[in-house]
């Protein structure tokens, strides 16, 4: 009891003061009808093409293209998992802030894919670099490898652009409370 005789209210529960996790994307097949779902499908398609093309060039520059392969395969797998969680409807059963997870995932992959795109473009630009072999001086990349790496660079750029668009859409869905108050 307080000095005036009125009962003291209990302290507020801190768990109640946080906003409830939100999911603004639809679960199930309806996600494929959204721009975000379409971009995730394009990320999977173009990302798969990137690692297939880089692998088919026999990876002549493993230091550069090894990172491109790692990023493209990892992003491909996680994008498939991300889409699978939404298609299966698991997002409604897992208590998480999916808007934030969507934003954090696409931000991280966008940064890594942008770096992979730059490395693939750098590897492609070394086409005319000559290297010494035991018998003769030959170009670092054959014409066939060069053509494949040009295609891989273009698809890496397109994949990076798709992740950037997904990042922009995710940022629109997830707005920190502090930004809304200012």
The answer to whether residue 21 is domain-embedded is no
Asked whether residue 91 falls in the same domain as residue 101, the answer is: no
Q: Is residue 182 part of a domain?
A: no
22 is a domain residue: no
Domain limits for position 110: 97-131+148-172
Does one domain contain both 35 and 70? yes
Structural domains in the chain (count): 2
Residues 124 and 86 in one domain: no
54 and 78 both lie in a single domain: yes
Q: Does residue 126 fall inside a structural domain?
A: yes
User: What whole-number distance in Å separates Cα of residue 49 and Cα of residue 52?
Assistant: 5
pTM of the model: 0.79
Same domain membership, residue 102 and residue 64: no
13-61 residue pLDDT tens: 655 545 555 678 888 899 999 999 999 999 999 999 999 999 998 877 7
Which among 72, 12, 57 has a CA at the least distance from the CA of 151? 57
Lowest mean pLDDT among 27-31, 80-84, 172-176: 172-176
134 confidence band (pLDDT: 50, 70, 90): low
């Amino acid at each position: 009891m307080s000095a005036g005789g009125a009962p003291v209210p209990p302290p507020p529960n801190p768990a109640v003061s946080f906003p409830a996790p939100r999911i603004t994307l639809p679960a199930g097949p309806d996600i494929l009808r959204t721009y975000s779902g379409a971009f995730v499908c394009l990320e999977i398609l173009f990302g798969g093409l990137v690692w297939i093309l880089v692998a088919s060039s026999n990876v002549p520059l493993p230091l550069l293209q090894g990172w491109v392969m790692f990023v493209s395969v990892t992003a491909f797998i996680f994008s498939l998992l991300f889409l699978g969680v939404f298609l299966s409807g698991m997002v409604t059963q897992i208590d998480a802030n999916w808007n934030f997870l969507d934003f954090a995932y696409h931000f991280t992959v966008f940064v890594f894919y942008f770096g992979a795109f730059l490395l693939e473009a750098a590897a492609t630009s070394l086409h005319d670099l000559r290297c010494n072999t035991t018998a003769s001086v030959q170009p670092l990349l054959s014409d066939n490898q060069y053509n494949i790496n040009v295609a891989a660079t273009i698809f890496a750029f397109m994949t990076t652009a798709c992740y950037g668009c997904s990042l922009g859409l995710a940022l629109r869905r997830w707005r920190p409370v502090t930004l809304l108050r200012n």
